[in-house]
Structure 1
Amino acid sequence: MPALPFLDDLPRFLFFTGKGGVGKTSLACATAVRLAEQGRRILLTSTDPASNVGQVFGVTIGNTVTPVPAVPGLDALEIDPQQAAEAYRGAIIDPVRDLLPAAEVAAMTEQLSGACTTEIASFNEFTSLLADESTTTAYDHVLFDTAPTGHTIRLLRLPGEWTSYLSDGKGDVSCLGPVAGLDRLRHDYAGALGALTDPARTRLVLVTRPQRSSLREAARTFEELRDLGMTNAHLVVNGVMPSYAVTTGPADELALAVGSREQEALAAVPDAVAALPRTTLPLLAHDTVGVPALRELLDPDETPHPSPLPEIVSPPRGFTDLRRLVDDLEGDGHGLVMCMGKGGVGKTTVAAAMALELASRGHEVLLTTTDPAAHLDDTLEGGVEHLTVERIDPRVAIGAYRERVMASKGKALDDAGRAVLAEDLKSPCTDEVAVFQQFSHVVFRARKQFVVLDTAPTGHTLLLLDATGSYHREITRQMSEGATFVTPLMRLQDPARTKVVIVTLPETTPVLEAQELQDDLARAGISPWAWVVNASLTAAAPTSPFLRARARTEAAPLASVARLCRRVAVLPLLAHEPVGAAALSQLTRPIAQPPLPPARSHP
């Protein structure tokens, strides 16, 4: 059994965070099971807008504390952004609904319908668990399964940002809506900040994979959170290829290469996290879904898999490759390609590979990202002809937005008025407005060239689309009848202008999450153009018994994908990380055999 130093001398609060796809949810759930089975009372809380804690345990978990039947002593809570926002709006509007004219109630409702309100509402529930310990007094430990890195850093900055804003700001707090009880909010935020920065009460568990990019992300995360005052941190390296996977059975180039690059990455852990207490967990031959699998994550069975070799099931009929998707895209000559999905599924890699292939064919291509944790330059490792790489940097966007507002709205104000406006622009809600404006500009540029957009993980992207919808509704109200106009949302809804590509992994939970994303997009009037299943062992056809056992778990998820979309590309897991133009170009190589005719499936 591996040593588990991250569980030694536990404080009351544990935060599991890291880059998407590193196994935060699995590790948080496994830790909750282990502690509960030791007789402790545990509350497992997800702050990820795309939470899948319920799927891991096979129970429905929502915005209320729910017992996990299979694990006595364990309760779970998924902070649902939409439910939280609805309750938040109701608490503000219901008391005055019968006292104000209908037009004013409608205006309040619209004011409280944006992404900023959703974030604040979710955050208020999160802070109550930290600031008011009476709400969790029945539990020995409270575990937080957080959103992917960029969204989590944004969330954890909020206690300090709102505390400072409410304490120092003298401007209009309109982005909060007509909120009552700011003193209570100030107290809650200050209490949450105190809990987060107290090493006796809170431990940060940085979850990573044995990969260069993931370890670098863990180091960047720790540096940013350390600046916020969170110093009690442990590093957990999850999913390390077990030694027997390489040494048992016939030689497998893929297994050897993956094992070798993992060891090289672990030998060069970034300085920022090298000195942290470290726990290493092996990769399992199966998905970590269900209580038995969660137990094995922290107490793995390292018995080699017996011969004969497990058979590999071929991908479903009709699956294609990434090159053929680019062939279909190229015919339009321009347009927006949005790669969407949960963190860690390879959106950045797929976006970079598609952009690189289009540029290699002579098209002018803009490759950009809305993901605060994305690093396109690291993926490309150098410039490419016809390819421009940019990033929607929230800090740059916020600064530019504030300057524009001060130069326009502030131009006619006196010194006192400008001071009030400047204070109002310090609101954390300014961030979403600023990023939305840059996002809108990128959408507009796709009229004349290819724009490949690597989006933030699902939850953050849905907040951005919420802002896009709010803007569309506002413009629609303001335009006179019969006027012609095109909003960013209308461009996203037009399949001739925008191709949405959902990226996922051939695993049960990522596919379920991608299906939920497709359903969310449908409610916004957006239909995915294609799916990409990344890092498939089935497509790689390994000979290692361990990797073949892993590959067999892909059969059911791949069959589900075939039912969800007519156009699907499947990419093999590569022996070497797809970093740099040469490696990325391997993802758009033509397949050896042409695909079979597509099976009948749902659009």
Structure 2
Amino acid sequence: MERLQAESLGSTRYLFFTGKGGVGKTTTACAIGTSLADSGKNVLLVSTDPASNLQDVFEQEIGQTATAIASVSGLHAINLDPEEAAETYRNSVVGPYRGLLPEDAIANMEEQLSGACTTEIAAFDEFSHLLTDKPVAETYDFVLFDTAPTGHTLRLLQLPLAWSSFLETSDHGASCLGPLSGLEAKKELYQEALHTLSDREQTSLILVARPDTSSLKEAERAGHELQEIGIVNQTLIVNGLFERSTEDETAVQLEQGQQKALEAMPAFFTDKQRYYLPLFGFHLTGMDSLRRLWEEETIPPADAEKERPPLELPSLSTIVEKLAPLEKGVFMTMGKGGVGKTTVAASVAMGLVKKGLRVHLTTTDPANHLSYAGLTPEMKDKLKISSIDPKQVVADYKNKVLADVKQELSEEELAYIKEDLESPCTEEIAVFQAFAEVVEQADDEFVIIDTAPTGHTLLLLDSAGSYEKEVERSSGSVNKAVSHLLPRLRNPLETFVAVVTLPEATPVLEAERLQEDLKRASIQPQWWVINQSLYGSGTKDPVLQGRSASEYKWIHKVNTELAERAVLIPWKPAGAAAASIQSV
């Protein structure tokens, strides 16, 4: 794997960057766009990422129309607001029904169109105009998109049924996208855009990942999904590869962990062009720093970071101390993938067991990786662990839904329902149902759950009895546990929610949106857990000290603006993180 050079990417006009939140898509896209412009090309950089920080990178305001970057001749940028685009899309779909349908029906339609998939459809509408606009093609040599659509959304738009009136009349429960009647007028536009996306002479897909297992697996999943629909011109960039220069313990452990993840890199990437970028110890904001991406030096300048007052945040044990006197309840960790929800949930469970309390830990990750070191036989008797296999419960859910409707629908209609069931909401619904059974047991013990649905899904399921209808359709009866669960989640005396994040820009901004989403569903998180913090690690490595200093802003924001209570967990390697469960 070779280091990414400024000229490495540039064989196609359109470059789409994709990867899980916080991997460095924006920085990478900005650096490549700047380099292409510096070489004399005209470049347009487009972001539809809700957590985009284009204005921070370029240190100037960037609007929703092409804005010239003052310090880079030939570079323009657009910072599209996907939420605003989604609101416009919602109004175009729901507007014709206002005044004709009851208010509760309108509210249900609006919630159907409030999920991540709808936001992505709206964003793809913006992509499509740029991909098919002749003046754009004539003006710019390269168009870079910071965030690519998912394979699920693109497959859905390729189905003939997405253009039919079936979507307006079906009551078979499109789980995420809701009524798509607004698409018919865009059929030709979308088909032309899809054709451009799958043309390897015009479009490249840049998969951005961190050198860790979960990030590489997410890149593999996205690559598979998009390859299946014809986007085969793919490149992998591993961002943040650490090359230590000291014997600092944290530095040694970080390097070893990254190398282990790279050695186990999915075979999917074997035939892909692969590059890496090093881990830098300074902010990649401003043109001077951004152009340093191509230099060898990764250590921040001596005067790069000003002195700040120290941040004092309590440890995870604070949560255990607050929960223990209650003796029972539901504790849930929420957050984006890869932030450490499972480890945090397990740590709290072990801490409560050590207090002599009965605990049921239920997880969507295998439970057998937990070590019971430090637990006496009596303690072990108080801990019950169950594992919910998302793949299995989702498969069961899909099979039940399809079994009920397949006699009524044509093959084309079934194809649409099958693709709709691939939406993120389907997994949330299926896993939620499995968790409901466990939560019902919380009358005389603590139930610790390592993931939960978003506020959008909870509202969707609660709206007009939607969830009960889903369960009735799939199983023929409404489960008592399901009926009880949502009110229980909204009761702060019974359910305690912790939002888990990492001390970086994108994870914090994503967690902030998650909290707002939960508030819409009348669920207020009681804690924020800032996980894997180099700021709290005590590292003396110069690069990692630079990273530690960059975390300060985000830890401070969580502690003073976002969280009722915040706790901090210092960085530990993956294996040590599991072992540290015992120390809570």
Determine if the TM-score, normalized by the shorter chain, exceeds 0.5: yes
Indicate whether 1:228 and 2:229 are aligned: yes
| TM-score, normalised relative to structure 1 | 0.76
Aligned to 1:428: 420
What's the counterpart of residue 386 of structure 1? 384
Alignment of 1:496 onto 2:461? no
2:17 is matched with 16
Letter of the 2:495 partner, please give it. T
CA–CA separation in structure 2 for the residues paired with 1:275 and 1:311: 45
Alignment of 1:290-301 (within 5 A): 290-301=286-297
Q: After superposition, what is the alpha-carbon deviation per residue over 1:536-582, rounded to whole angstroms, capped at 9, x for unaligned?
A: 223211232333333333334333333233532211112xx223xx6
Q: Distance in 2 between matches of 1:76 and 1:14?
A: 15
Aligned length: 546
**1:284 deviation in Å?**
1.0
Query: In the alignment, what sits opposite 2:215?
Result: 214
Q: Does 1:287 align with 2:286?
A: no
Pair 30,495 (structure 1): closer, same or farther in 2 beyond 3 Å? farther
TM-score between both structures, scaled by the size of structure 2: 0.78
In 1, distance between residues paired with 2:300 and 2:183? 60
Q: Does the C-alpha gap of structure 1 residues 44 and 377 become closer, same or farther in structure 2, counting only changes over 3 Å?
A: farther
Change (3 A) 1:232 1:105: same
Instruction: State the partner residue of 2:80.
Output: 78
Instruction: Please give the per-residue CA displacement for 1:509-540, whole angstroms capped at 9, x wherever unaligned.
Output: 54455445444444443322111122222321
Q: 1:346 and 1:433, CA in 2 relative to 1: closer, same or farther beyond 3 A? A: closer
Q: Which residue of 1 aligns with 2:8?
A: 7
| Distance change in 2, residues 1:421/1:355 (3 Å) | farther
**What's the counterpart of residue 311 of structure 2?**
316
Whether the 8 Å contact between 1:25 and 1:145 is mirrored in structure 2 is yes
Q: Deviations over 1:85-129 (max 9, x none)?
A: 3212322344565xxx44357634532431477623531441552
Q: Is the 8 A contact 1:16 1:146 kept in 2?
A: yes
Flag the 1:429–1:62 CA change in 2: closer, same or farther, 3 A: farther
What aligned pairs does 1:77-226 form with structure 2 within 5 A after superposition?
A: 77-81=79-83, 83-94=84-95, 101-103=99-101, 107-108=105-106, 110-115=108-113, 119-120=117-118, 122-127=120-125, 129-130=127-128, 132-134=131-133, 136-137=136-137, 138-146=139-147, 155-166=150-161, 171-173=166-168, 174=170, 175=174, 180=181, 183-226=184-227
Query: What's the counterpart of residue 376 of structure 2?
Result: none
SS in structure 1 of the partner of residue 254 of structure 2: helix
Which stretch shows the higher mean deviation, 182-191 or 6-15? 182-191
1:471-504 Cα shifts (integer Å, max 9, x gaps): 334249x9xxxxxx96655333322232221222
Question: What pairs with 1:329-368 in structure 2 (closer than 5 Å)?
Answer: 329-355=323-349, 357-358=351-352, 363-368=358-363
Which residue of structure 1 aligns with residue 438 of structure 2?
445
Out of 543, 548, 554, which is 1:546 matched to? 543
Whether the 8 Å CA contact 1:348–1:454 is kept in 2: the answer is yes
Kindly provide the amino acid, as one letter, of the partner of residue 276 in structure 1.
K
Shift of residue 229, structure 1, vs aligned partner:
2.7
Gaps in structure 2 of 5+ consecutive residues: 373-379, 469-481
Determine whether 1:263 maps to 2:291.
no
Task: Give the Å deviation of 1:258.
Answer: 2.0
Given that 2:109 and 2:179 are in contact with CA atoms closer than 8 Å, whether structure 1 keeps it comes out as no
The 5 Å alignment of 1:397-412 reads 397=394, 400-401=397-398, 403-404=400-401, 406-407=403-404
Classify 1:380/1:200 alpha carbon distance in 2 versus 1 (closer, same or farther; 3 Å): farther
After the TM superposition, which residues 47-86 of structure 1 pair with which residues of structure 2 at under 5 Å, given as runs? Answer: 47-58=48-59, 68-71=69-72, 73-81=75-83, 83-86=84-87
- Does the CA contact (< 8 Å) of 2:213 and 2:261 recur in 1? yes
Instruction: Specify the alignment match of 2:479 in structure 1.
Output: none
Q: Deviations over 1:191-223 (max 9, x none)?
A: 343233222122122222233443344344434
Partner of 1:482: none
CA pair 26-487 structure 1, distance change in 2 beyond 3 A:
farther
Q: Is the 8 A contact 2:13 2:142 kept in 1?
A: yes
Q: Tell me the amino acid that sits aligned with residue 417 of structure 2.
A: L
Change (3 A) 1:509 1:422: closer
- Contact 2:48–2:123, Cα closer than 8 Å, also in 1: no
In 1, Cα distance between equivalents of 2:119 and 2:278:
38
Structure 1 residue 253, shift from structure 2 partner:
1.8
* Pair 1:41-2:42 in alignment: yes
CA offset digits 1:377-417 (Å, max 9, x no partner): 49937999622122434x8526524524643x77xxxx566
- CA shift, 1:10, in A, is 2.6
> Larger RCO: Structure 1 or Structure 2 (Cα < 8 Å, ≥ 6 residues apart)?
1
| Partners of 2:350 and 2:581 within 8 A in 1 | no
State the distance in 1 between where 2:518 and 2:30 align: 28
C-alpha distance in structure 2 between counterparts of 1:90 and 1:304, whole Å: 48
In the TM superposition, what whole-angstrom CA distance separates every residue of 1:268-307 from its partner, at most 9, and x where no partner exists?
5433213422222111112333333332223353468779
In structure 1, runs of 5+ residues without a counterpart are: 370-375, 479-484, 591-603
User: What CA RMSD, in Å, does the superposition of the two structures yield over aligned residues?
Assistant: 4.2
Measured in 2, the distance between the counterparts of 1:379 and 1:41 equals 54
Q: Secondary structure at the match of 1:540?
A: coil
Q: Is the 8 A contact 1:28 1:145 kept in 2?
A: yes
Query: What is the rounded CA distance, in whole Å, between the counterparts of 1:74 and 1:280 in structure 2?
Result: 26
Residue from 451, 458, 461 that aligns with 1:468 = 458
Output the amino acid matched with 1:263. Answer: Q
**Cα distance in 1, alignment partners of residues 363 and 390 from structure 2:** 7
Contact kept, 8 Å, 1:33 with 1:71, in 2: the verdict is yes
